[in-house]
A and B are shown apart, each in its own frame.
Chain A
Amino acid sequence: MKHLRILLGAALLFAFLLAEPGRISAGDKYQEMINCDLHAGPCTQAFSENSVTLEVAPRPVKAMQDLLFKVTLAQKLSQTPIAPYIDLGMPGMNMGPNRVQLKPAGNAIYEGRGVIVRCPSGRRTWQAMVIMPGVGQVSFIFDVIY
């Protein structure tokens, strides 16, 4: 009888966890930080009276897939000699260093290839920090598809 109760408890927990995806991860608060929908197209963030645009292809943006990252800087920002780069990470969770090196690909445009890895926790909110050495950085927070 005791064994049955334990098995029933485990089965109930199993059913609960399966049916309530929102309760498994603590990602709700990071959803509120999202400032970009890369699935719809490029995102632009203001930076000190200028702007930085991030585009990722192919769309929709999926994890564990080779992605092309394209950053477009406003003309004033693009005059710095060092190319920007992107640090990929997950807000609130240390996933290790994942840097996308960017190379010039046209007028104030920089491109590079990278991968957004998948987190088994189920959280899908990621952050791309575009860093312009000696100038500053801009953060893009978005959801990816697993």
Chain B
Amino acid sequence: MLSTETLYLLYLSTGLTVGFGHCIGMCGPIVVTFSLNLKGKNIIFPQFLYHLGRITTYAILGGVVAATGSLTMVAANIESLQKGVMIFAGALIMLMGFAMAGWVSLGSVFRNPVGSGGIISRGFGKLLKVKSTGIYFPLGLLLGLLPCGPVYTALLGAARSGMEANTLHQGVLGGMGLMVAFGLGTVPALFLVAKLADLGWLKSREFIYKFGAVLMIAVGVFFIVKAIRY
């Protein structure tokens, strides 16, 4: 059996390789969307908050599967939620695309006289304001629930570590630690993608923003289709 330190290193390196080999494809559009939405402003702190939120969710999931000793049971219980998160992510990216290109007025989208939809529309409204950097943390918390094969694989390891621990407390902490290590490993790849999309250095930004907006709308549609099929 591998030592705890070796396991953490293994999960960190797994996150690193999976990050560059897998995460860029699935979560890359999300971080690019956030970068483009910031329109040349500093992306470091928003990205930090987003990844902090995402890794926090991973840690919580790691603790839960370690405590239950079963990924399949936990996954079955959150499947509907994950589908909803995927649809939300797709809708968010689409809206950001429309808003960024100036094709849709945020005021007209989020003016919602009906009370039941008020919280959602106010939430979306806040998300799309560049000034509210703090919103990236809860976004990361939520989007950390997106279904992801490598995350499931890492959670399998967390579940196993929970079953092999001497006490429940030890197992939960171990599971959380492994998922934090995995999540940290995925950050460099995603941050690099976000940085590349940071167009502060680009002169003809207007065309790029319009082009990026079209891509974002397409990606948003793709996410929603994936969610329906999931």
Contacts and interface: CB of A to CB of B under 8 A. Distances in A.
B14 A96 contact: yes
Interface stretch (A73-81, A111-119, A134-142): A111-119
A64 B75 contact: yes
A120 B230 contact: yes
B94 interface: yes
Interface residues of A, number: 29
Interface string B149-174: 11011101100000000000000000
Interface stretch (A12-20, A29-37, A45-53, A102-110): A12-20
A120 B26 contact: yes
Nearest to A9: B217
A65 B221 contact: no
A6 interface: yes
23 contacts: A6-B103, A10-B217, A10-B220, A10-B221, A14-B221, A17-B221, A24-B222, A64-B72, A64-B152, A65-B72, A66-B70, A93-B21, A93-B22, A94-B17, A95-B150, A96-B149, A96-B154, A115-B156, A118-B147, A118-B149, A120-B149, A120-B230, A122-B229
Given A95-B150, A120-B149, 14 more contacts: A10-B217, A14-B225, A17-B222, A17-B225, A24-B226, A24-B229, A64-B76, A64-B152, A90-B149, A94-B22, A97-B153, A98-B153, A120-B26, A120-B230
